[in-house]
Amino acid sequence: MTEKKEEIRTGFYICHCGHNIGSVVDCPAVVEYVKGLPGIAVSRDYKYMCSDPGQELIAQDIREQKLNRIVVASCSPLLHEETFRKATSMGGLNPFYFQMVNIREHDSWVHTDKNAATEKAMDMARAAVARVRFHRALEKKKAPIHPDVLIVGAGIAGIHAALTLANAGKKVYLVEREPTIGGHMAMFDKTFPTLDCAACILTPKMSSVKNHPNITMWTYSEVTSVDGYVGNFTIKVRHKPRYIIEDLCVGCMACIDACVFKQKFEDEFNQGLSKRKPVYIPFPQATPQVVVIDPEQCLKLKTGKCKESCAEACDRKAIDFNQKETIEEIKVGTVIISTGFKSFDAKKLPQYGWGIYPNVYTALEIERLVNASGPTGGDVVMRDGKHPKRIGIIHCVGSRDESTNKWCSRVCCMYSLKLAHLLHEHSEAEIYNFYIDMRTPGKSYEEFYDRLLKEGVNFVRGRVAEITDWAMNKDEEDHLVIRVEDTLAGFVRRIPVDMVVLATGLEAREDAQDVRRLFNIGCGGEGFFMERHPKLAPVDTFTEGIFIAGACQGPKDIPDTVAQAGAAAAQCLALIDAGAIELEPNTAFIDEQSCSGCKSCISLCPYTAITFDAVKKKAVINEALCKGCGTCVGACPSSSIIQNLYEDDQIFTEIEEVLAHV
Amino acid sequence: MSEQFEPRIVAFFCTWCTYTAADLAGVSRLKYAPNIRVIRVMCSGRIDPQFILEAFAHGADGVLIGGCHPGDCHYIEGNYKCLRRAHLLKRVVQDMGIEKERFRLEWISAAEGDRVKTVVNDMVAQIKAIGPLRLPSRFKQWDAEMRELEATVNHTEEMTHASQA
């Protein structure tokens, strides 16, 4: 080790964080205690260290007191390490002569015993003060940012982000697994609270995406592998075979007419309310306007025996039964994940009768049913062919429920109001809403609720117990009966209706965990992707260069989704236009003097950053490939690998010092 | 000495999962025993077996390692490397007479703040039940015993030399 005999002059600062730390940890006592530790030149407390005056305090002390080491005891380094490193360099010191002590998240917020918490703060401060002696000046590496962006999922979030970036002149790859872009929003009839039609505001954006010179739109495709790091990702995308040559198909649909099958397969886009053929186009405004053949249903693809009337009907010869999946590799610098949500499966609550009673519908089914281009052209006709005279809408199905999902799905109250309005408009039926609490926080949302109240929709406060067809009197015969405790009136009611709508909640996608692993990001306990910070970094993830937008991060409505998509696009732009990003210098290197050339480290590196120099008989670490996990360091039998910021000396000192108080 | 035994636990948490989970426990204001001192590493794969032995040697009553769940490592497979070392180390530590409750490896994801609480409280309770480890004072005792033994051996040797002469 290079040993310069410099006098260590450490500055120690403890933050009260208002009352957050100060009310549990005795900060002045810690200050006094630290004063007695070796190498301490300054020991202070301050109300808010992260504030401007707090940071200036550090910088000024460095200049005036000739400090060469800084320790700040405050919140988590994940929150403010960068802040205090900047303050350290503001004072003219290399920012890596700084160490942070987490006495808020790991101490004052989790302990109630003030003495024990103060003692813990002292232990941690002592360890940091000792550790920081071993710190060295480091330089941050710079990684160039590839200007292209990958967006995964082309619902309204992906579409909006793609257009924002493309309009800024950036090249975007927009990957969508379904045969068309548009996502859930394309299925909606109208949007709350303005009641403008979803298609009218979405489809122009969809066609802009398709025609934009800067957007490469890949539908029916999925990301299969992700390699690299911020600024320099290598992505593999699998194009599933459509059995249609996309460039040739003009969407005339002659093949669909010619197909030998009757319409007998469930139409996914219409939630199974209508049937389609094996060759189909998801909906009239689908983008791209290209048909797709379902290989599980197509006679030719399944059995090889069909007269291929579809291929005959196609005068552009666009049908290709021999199409195989292809894998394409692209390079991008940043990624936005906007994979959306999944609707709660109403089958999980059999007491509400979905899938048992034909006239029980999910909200998404109703969106299709009232849609002018839906299976009935907007006519509210039930599965039994009748028109409803009374409709009950049940809120919080798969939301705010210990037995299913604890969270509020945020959009259901509003879309229930919207559906109440639309169903009444289309059928003139009497509408009942069964709610726990009405949640209408949003611009013009409460006003919309008020409008519905005036329109004469009935509201019953109470969670519905069950839907049944057991009639107890003549009025209930041939009806579905909603059993509910009306908590405002204070008694249990039985309300006979013709149709029931379940306001199903929003959940994370079934394969969110796979996507999370693929992109090396995190999921919260509910399964939605986790943001780096709920308030200050809502579209960032813990992996640099990967951003999240829309309902994949948590339930949200269209305005919030669009806002978040714009934010994610802005984050990408910030990186791209900066041209490069500074990386943590926590990489490892080999001490050639002591390396014995045993090669134990080489096979351990997940990034093949370690090679063997056959001439010198030493291991060599390629710093550009090293991501700084330190696995090789932990395994080196001769301690010849050194990880910046996590050196053996630093950690052993920390171990010794946290225990020194025993 | 203090009237009630308060174990000292040194924890090594990887920054991406368990350290973040401990942050989440804080943000959620969960309360757990204050006996733990966390040392942050980038990955559980960084944890040198020597860290654990050193912690025990310096007076830790327990050592806890927290890493990402299998398959979730930020560095692809560092947690598997950690697991392999931990398996071996568990046996070494037990052979040294250190109870198995004192060394624990837990997978705690960034979303599992409540698990940090449960694991820490559980470990503190277990170690309270088995009592302090006191390795540093035991070392002293063993050293003294060794010196005594050496002295006896030397003495006997001297005696034999003397009788032979």
| CB A137, CB A166: distance < 8 Å | no
Using CA coordinates, name the residue in chain A closest to B73. A520
| Residue of B36, B58, B102, B105 to mutate, testing the A interface (most A Cβ within 10 Å of its Cβ) | B58
B2 occurs within a structural domain: no
Residues in chain B: 165
A112: tokens are: 């109630």
Asked whether residue A2 carries a pLDDT value surpassing 60, the answer given is no
With a CB-CB cutoff of 8 Å, which residues 37-76 of chain A face chain B? 76
Asked if residue B141 and residue B95 are part of one domain, the reply reads no
Shared domain for B19 and B100, answered yes or no, is yes
- Scan for tokens 């000495």, then name that residue: B1
For residues B15 and B41, state if they share a domain: yes
What pLDDT does residue B159 have?
Answer: 83
Name residue A367's amino acid. Answer: E
Question: How far is residue A100's CA from residue A120's CA, in Å, rounded to a whole number?
Answer: 15
Q: Are residues B127 and B143 in the same domain?
A: no
The pLDDT of A335-346, averaged and rounded, is 98
**Spatial CB neighbours of A541, under 8 Å, sequence gap ≥ 6:** A337, A519, A521, A522, A529, A530, A531, A532, A547, A548
Rounded to an integer, the average pLDDT of A535-539 is 92
> Are B69 and B89 in a shared domain?
yes
Integer CA distances (angstroms), B128 to B61, B68, B122, B125, B131, in order: 9, 27, 10, 5, 5
- Whether A525 has its CB under 8 Å from any CB of chain B: the answer is yes
Query: Are residues B94 and B68 both part of a single domain?
Result: yes
Provide the CATH number for the domain around residue B70.
3.40.50.960
Q: What is the rounded distance in angstroms from the CA atom of residue A635 to the CA atom of residue A630?
A: 9
- Per residue in B139-150, pLDDT (tens digit) is 999 999 999 999
B138 chain-A contacts, CB cut-off 8 A? none
For residues B96 and B159, membership in a common domain is answered with: no
A629 touches chain B (CB under 8 A): yes
Q: Measure B164 CA to nearest chain A CA, in Å.
A: 47
B20, B41, B76: residue with CB nearest A78: B20
Write down the domain spans for chain A.
Answer: 10-140, 149-240+326-340+520-580, 254-313, 343-507, 588-643
Q: Is residue A207's pLDDT more than 90?
A: yes
Phi, psi of A264 (to 5 degrees): -135, 0
Query: pLDDT confidence of A579, banded at 50, 70, 90?
Result: very high
Could you read off the pLDDT of B106-130 as tens digits, one per residue? 999 999 999 999 999 999 999 999 9
Residue A99: pLDDT band by 50, 70, 90 thresholds? very high
* Average pLDDT, rounded, for chain B: 93
The answer on pLDDT for A326 being more than 60 is yes
- The domain total for chain B is 2
Q: What is the pLDDT of residue A3?
A: 52
pLDDT digits (tens, 9 = 90+) for A153-202: 999 999 999 999 999 999 999 999 999 999 999 999 999 999 999 999 99
**A79, A16, A115: which is closest to B27 by C-alpha?**
A79
Superfamily of structural domain A343-507: FAD/NAD(P)-binding domain (3.50.50.60)
**Interchain pair A110, B78: CB under 8 A:** no
- Indicate the class that CATH gives domain A10-140: alpha beta
Decide if A78 and B19 are in contact by the 8 Å CB cutoff.
yes
Is B23 in the same domain as B41?
yes
In degrees and rounded to multiples of 5, residue A388 shows phi and psi of: -75, 145
CATH-assigned architecture of domain A149-240+326-340+520-580: 3-Layer(bba) Sandwich (3.50)
The tokens of B51 are what? Answer: 């860290």
CA distance B157 to chain A (A): 39
- For every residue of A617-650, DSSP letters joined together read TEEEE-TTT-----HHHHH-TT--EEETTS-HHH
CA gap A551, A549 in Å, rounded: 7
Average pLDDT (A491-505) is: 98
- pLDDT score of A4: 58
Q: Is B78 in Cβ contact with A629 (below 8 Å)?
A: yes
- Out of A105, A525, A654, the one facing B27 most closely (by C-beta) is A105
Nearest CA in chain A to B111: A524
Q: Do domains A149-240+326-340+520-580 and A343-507 have the same CATH topology?
A: yes
What is d(CA A137, CA B145) in angstroms, rounded to the nearest whole number? 46
* pLDDT at residue A661 in the model: 75
Per-residue pLDDT for A653 more than 80?
yes
Give residue A617's identity as a one-letter amino acid code: K
Mean pLDDT of chain A: 95
Judge if B27 and B58 occupy the same domain. yes
- Residue A145 reports pLDDT greater than 80: yes
Predicted confidence band of residue B94 (pLDDT cuts 50, 70, 90)? very high
Same domain, B69 and B139: no
From CA B16, how far away is CA A516, in angstroms rounded?
14
Question: What average pLDDT score do residues B10-34 get?
Answer: 97
Q: Do A634 and B48 touch (CB under 8 A)?
A: yes
- Asked if residue B4 belongs to a domain, the reply is no
Mean pLDDT value of segment A8-30: 97
Please give the pLDDT value at position B72.
87
Task: Give the range of the structural domain holding residue B119, as residue numbers without chain letter.
Answer: 9-133
Residues of B in contact with A109 (CB under 8 A): 26-27, 29
Nearest to B34 among A117, A643, A655 (CB): A117
Task: Kindly determine whether residue A105 and residue B48, on different chains, have CB atoms separated by under 8 Å.
Answer: no
* B98 and B165 share one domain: no
Tell me the pLDDT tens digit for each residue of B60-77.
999 999 999 998 898 989
Q: Please enumerate in sequence order all residues whose Cβ is within 8 A of that of A234, keeping only pairs 6 or more positions apart, or say none.
A: A226, A227, A228, A329, A330, A331
Tokens of A574: 């910030």
pLDDT at residue B157, as a whole number: 83
The percentage of residues in chain A with a pLDDT greater than 70, rounded to a whole number, is 99
pLDDT over 50 at A1, yes or no = no
What average pLDDT score do residues A283-293 get?
95
Q: How confident is the model at residue B42 (pLDDT cuts 50, 70, 90)?
A: very high
Instruction: Tell me what pLDDT residue A662 has.
Output: 54
Instruction: Give residue B1's pLDDT.
Output: 44
Question: Does residue B1 lie in a domain region?
Answer: no
| A123 with B37: Cβ contact below 8 A | yes
- A625 falls in which pLDDT band (50, 70, 90)? confident
What pLDDT sits at residue A92?
97
Task: Report yes or no on B3 lying in a domain.
Answer: no
- Of the pLDDT bands very low, low, confident and very high (cuts 50, 70, 90), residue A550 is very high
Of A116, A629, A655, the CB nearest to B54: A655
Place of tokens 């050592």: B63
Are B38 and B49 contained in the same domain? yes
- Cα-based distances in Å from A372 to A180, A189, A270, A500, A558: 19, 8, 12, 21, 21
Is the per-residue pLDDT at A388 higher than 50? yes
Average pLDDT on A43-66 reads 97
User: How far apart (Å, rounded) are the C-alpha atoms in residues A152 and A515?
Assistant: 10
> What tokens were used for A491?
């008694």
- Please, which pLDDT band fits residue B154 given cuts at 50, 70 and 90? confident
Banded pLDDT at B163 (limits 50, 70, 90) = confident
Q: What is the second-level CATH architecture of the domain A588-643?
A: 2-Layer Sandwich (3.30)
The answer to the question of residue B41 being in a domain is yes
> Could you tell me if A354 and A347 are in contact, meaning their C-beta atoms sit under 8 angstroms apart?
yes
| Contact between chains at A78 and B38 (C-beta distance less than 8 A) | no
Chain B residues with beta carbon closer than 8 angstroms to that of A26: none
